[in-house]
Structure 1
Amino acid sequence: MNIVIIGTGNTASVLGRRLKAAGHEILQVYGRNAKTASDLAYELDTESTNYWSVVNREADIYLIAVSDIAIAEVVQELQLSESTVVHTAASVPLNVLEGTAHQGVFYPLQTLKKELGRQPDIPIIIDASDAATLDKLDELAHSITHHVMEADDATRLKLHVAAVFCNNFVNHLYVLMADYCQKEGLDFALLQPLIAETAQRINEIAPLAAQTGPAIRQDTNTIARHLEVLNNHPALAEWYQRFTLSIQNQKA
């Protein structure tokens, strides 16, 4: 398919690479910043622009990969009433694209960083205003992943909540522990094999069955000693107690 990408950030960059590698033609990259648009266009072997008036009008799909709050403005600027226009946002409804003939959602359920050379598996969640557009997006999605699901606005939002817990909040715990290790003179790198094993294990058994540690064992002596260690880290102590109680309640 012939695609115009609107945006130059993580989602635009990673999806652009995947789509190009799958044999699709990236006709153009639009970005507010001329340099970042040019850089991404160079990588994708295409042209770029930072002017709405010269956005290519011949694409099969216009892929809007910008911040959630900017999508409505982009739709107004594009003025593509007869085209297929899709956005990549999890929590923005499909009808933000009203005014275009064919509307769709092409949401990558993955944490994306354009600086990383490694290419993760990317499940794609799709939705559309009509059957023909849904078929087109299904074909596009299957060209870059085996994991494709159709979901309406409400389901997509629920998936995003789950993704925030599984990724953003978990990563925040890594941030807290990296800071804790630095303050206590510990090497955070020693925890990385544990982090990797924890993530890998839930591919083999259910998360509840994978739970280990003093909380699920009701090991009150170890819990008490840990809380003593955290006397100088009151915020961490509070999190420790909350997680301990949650694990124990889940087991019950």
Structure 2
Amino acid sequence: MNIVIIGTGNTASVLGRCFKNAGHQILQIFGRDAHAASELAYELDTESTNYWSVVTRDADLYLLAVSDIAIADVLNELSLPNGTVVHSAASVSKDVLNEAAHYGVFYPLQTLKKEAAGSPDIPIIIDASDDATLRQLEALAYTISNKVAVASDEQRLKLHVAAVFCNNFVNHLYALTESYCIKEGLDFSILHPLILETAERVGELSPRAAQTGPAIRNDENTLEKHRQLLQAHPHLAAFYQLFTNSIQNPAL
């Protein structure tokens, strides 16, 4: 497939590499930052531009890998090319693109960093304006992922909420834990095997079935010792009690 990528950030870079490795032709990279566009184009062995007037109009697919608030403006600048136009946003309706003849969503449900070596396993969530476009996006998605799902705007937004809980919030807990370890003179890295084991386990068991710790055991003696220790860390103490309550009363 012949693809034009609008954007130069994490999503544009990682998906661009995936497309190139799968044998697709990246016709062009557009970026407002000419230097960033040139760098990504060099990596993907293609050309770059920061002028809308020279964006090619004969691609099969235009991927808008830009910020949510920029999507509508970018579509206007594209002047409705003949190819399919898709955005990669989780929380933006596909219909923001409804001035295009064929449009949809190509959302990578993964945390992406363009500096990372290699490519992670990336589930692709798709939606489209019509059945033919949906089949086109599905075929493209399966060339770079073995996990492809169709989801409406509402379903995709719900998936994004779930992703925030299991990724962004969990990572914030890692950050809090690291800060606690530094303040208490502990080596955070000694927890790495535990973090990895927990992540592996939820791939095999329901997270509820995999739950361990003093809260699920109703070990009040240990819980109280922890509460006492965390009095010096009131922010962490609040999290500790919140999660303890939630584990012990999952219906809340």
TM-score, normalized by the shorter chain, greater than 0.5 = yes
Partner of 2:245: 245
How far apart, CA to CA, are the structure 1 residues paired with 2:15 and 2:62?
A: 13
1:68-95 Cα distance to aligned partner (Å, 9 max, x none): 1111111111112533100000100011
Distance 1:81 1:102 in 2: 10
* 1:202 counterpart residue number: 202
SS at the partner of 1:215? coil
| Comparing 76-85 and 96-105, the one that deviates more | 76-85
Corresponding residue for 1:119? 119
Moved more, 75-84 or 138-147: 75-84
For residues 105-150 of structure 1, give each alpha carbon's deviation from its aligned partner in whole angstroms, at most 9, with x where no partner exists. Answer: 0000111011110321100000000111101000000000110001
CA contact (8 A) 2:5 2:28 kept: yes
Q: Who is 2:99 aligned against?
A: 99
1-structure distance, mates of 2:162, 2:197: 21
Asked if residue 228 in structure 1 is aligned to residue 228 in structure 2, the reply is yes
| Residue identity opposite 1:24 in structure 2 | H
Q: 1:56: Cα distance to partner?
A: 1.1
Give the conservation status (yes or no) of the 8 Å contact 2:58–2:81.
no
**CA deviation profile, 1:33-68 (whole Å, cap 9, x unmatched):** 000000000000000001111111110000000111
Which amino acid is 1:243 matched to? F
Pairs aligned (count): 252
Q: Quote the Cα distance in structure 1 between the aligned partners of 2:161 and 2:118.
A: 25
Q: Is the 8 A contact 2:4 2:28 kept in 1?
A: yes
Equivalent position of 1:55 in the other structure: 55
Which runs of 5 or more structure 1 residues have no equivalent in the other structure?
A: none
Q: Which whole-Å CA distance do the structure 1 matches of 2:94 and 2:156 have between them?
A: 10
Question: Equivalences for 1:92-241 in 2 at 5 Å?
Answer: 92-241=92-241
Asked if structure 1 preserves the Cα contact closer than 8 Å seen for 2:216 and 2:248, the reply is yes
Report if the CA contact (8 A) 2:3-2:26 is conserved: yes
CA contact (8 A) 1:216 1:251 kept: no
- The CA distance in 2 between the partners of 1:64 and 1:94, in whole Å, is 12
Gaps of 5+ in 2: none
1:20 alignment partner AA: K
Matched with 1:67 is: 67
Where in structure 1 do 4 or more consecutive aligned residues deviate above 4 Å?
Answer: none
Q: Distance in 1 between matches of 2:100 and 2:209?
A: 48
**TM-score (structure 1 length as normaliser):** 0.98
Please report the RMSD computed on the Cα atoms of aligned residues, expressed in angstroms.
1.1
Percent pairwise identity: 68
Cα pair 1:10 1:113 within 8 Å, conserved: yes
2:121 touches 2:145 (CA, 8 Å); kept in 1?
A: yes
